[in-house]
């Protein structure tokens, strides 16, 4: 009886998301907004429930209608391998700039994850000032920034960011590998530009958000010790 009930619940959720995604044509972000859930949860549910995704950006999404002569063709079909590679890079850059511009103008709704909410609440409790979803140099959006001390805090889902205590680095799927490479590039850029980066995995935050923020606060205290008091020279 219980197994039948759980099976029916799973099926109903799967059907609901499938209908919203395929029949209504909603994006994952719009589904999340409609169901009042974090976008990350919708992504995870679609993966676990095996709701297939629409063709990705390698198809020319801007072309509509099955009768269009270029309908369903790949960038490679039109520009060749090297041309398509260049075109994808250009479109990715344009998309990233648009997203960051919308962030700066507060035009993009955010569904903060539970782990981000936990970090935010702990920072507020300790009266540590921060900016959430901080756009940096038209390149990245960081979960938290403490500008006075050039600190970045990133809250990483265990799966999406390949927690090494859970996932074998030699056995990651394509999405995990892409995210891992992006994280490495982001960290390298940030450290080269003088930022201190703290990355906390989902399981760390859920186990003890206090321990995580302790690391940030201890770093802040060390930085404050190194600030010279002008009265010392008098």
For the chain, what is the largest distance between any 2 Cα atoms, rounded to a whole number of angstroms?
A: 82
* Residue whose pair of structure tokens reads 């479109």 in the numeric block: 91
Percent of the chain with pLDDT over 70: 74
Give the architecture (CATH level 2) of 114-233: 3-Layer(aba) Sandwich (3.40)
Domain residue spans of the chain: 7-53, 55-109, 114-233
Q: What is the pLDDT of residue 174?
A: 86
Mean predicted confidence (pLDDT) in 64-81: 69
Q: Could you tell me if 163 and 172 are in contact, meaning their C-beta atoms sit under 8 angstroms apart?
A: no
Q: What's the pTM value of the predicted model, to 2 decimals?
A: 0.57
Q: What is the pLDDT of residue 109?
A: 47
How would residue 167 be classed by pLDDT, with cut points 50, 70 and 90? very high
User: Does residue 32 carry a pLDDT above 80?
Assistant: yes
Domain 7-53 has CATH 1.10.10: yes
Mean predicted confidence (pLDDT) in 192-220: 96
Q: Could you tell me if 152 and 144 are in contact, meaning their C-beta atoms sit under 8 angstroms apart?
A: yes
Give dist(CA 90, CA 92) in Å, integer: 5
């Amino acid at each position: 009886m219980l197994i039948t009930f759980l099976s029916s619940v799973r099926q109903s959720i799967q059907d609901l998301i499938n209908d919203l995604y395929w029949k209504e044509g909603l994006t994952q972000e719009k589904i999340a907004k409609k169901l009042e859930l974090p976008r990350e949860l919708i992504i995870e549910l679609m993966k676990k429930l095996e709701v297939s995704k629409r063709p990705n950006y390698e198809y020319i999404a801007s072309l509509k209608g099955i009768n269009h002569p270029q309908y369903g063709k790949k960038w490679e079909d039109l520009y060749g391998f090297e041309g398509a590679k260049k075109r994808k890079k250009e479109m990715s850059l344009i998309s990233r700039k648009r997203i960051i511009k919308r962030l700066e103008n507060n035009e993009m709704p955010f569904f903060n994850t539970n782990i981000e909410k936990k970090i935010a609440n702990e920072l507020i409790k300790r009266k540590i000032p921060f900016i959430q979803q901080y756009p940096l140099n038209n390149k990245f959006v960081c979960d938290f920034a403490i500008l006075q001390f050039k600190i970045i805090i990133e809250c990483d889902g265990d799966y999406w960011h390949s927690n090494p205590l859970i996932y074998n680095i030699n056995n990651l799927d394509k999405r995990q590998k892409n995210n891992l490479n992006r994280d490495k590039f982001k960290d390298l850029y940030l450290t080269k530009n003088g930022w201190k980066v703290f990355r906390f995995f989902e399981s760390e935050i859920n186990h003890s958000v206090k321990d995580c923020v302790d690391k940030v606060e201890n770093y802040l205290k060390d930085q404050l010790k190194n600030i010279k008091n002008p009265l010392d020279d008098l």
